Structure 1
């Protein structure tokens, strides 16, 4: 599936399935933003090719 010109935001992307989904979306051409609590792990997943947005979705005040 070609995802060029599509935008995706993956929450929980710092490891596991979330990281794999973010990488696959990016590989298929999507512009990807990734969120999770751990910024350093997000940056490792993004490898400079995704927008990194650290966030804790359990903390409504921080969103």
Structure 2
């Protein structure tokens, strides 16, 4: 999974256990990860856990069924990391 190193990855539904595992794998392999979901508490806790392990992580509460939220997520990611490589 070294091919994700330095890639900017938006991970939707990141508050689920399966996506949490994916986020850990991405961050541990050098990806810059933007976590998204509707539950802020879970996102915040995951961000802190991944940062303690050396990951580069941000989060944005997002409803993927909302076009406005998705546009805001894209702007947030580009403002934060300069680009989006994987959604």
Scaled to the shorter chain, the TM-score interval is: 0.7 to 0.9
1:11-61 superposed Cα distances (whole Å, 9 cap, x missing partner): 000121111111110011100000000011001111163111101112334
Aligned CA-pair RMSD: 1.5
1:60 is matched with 67
- List, as ranges, runs of 4+ consecutive aligned residues in structure 1 with deviation greater than 6 Å: none
Gaps of 5+ in 1: none
* Larger helix percent: 2
Length, aligned pairs only: 62
Gaps of 5+ in 2: 52-56, 70-87
Q: Distance in 1 between matches of 2:17 and 2:65?
A: 19
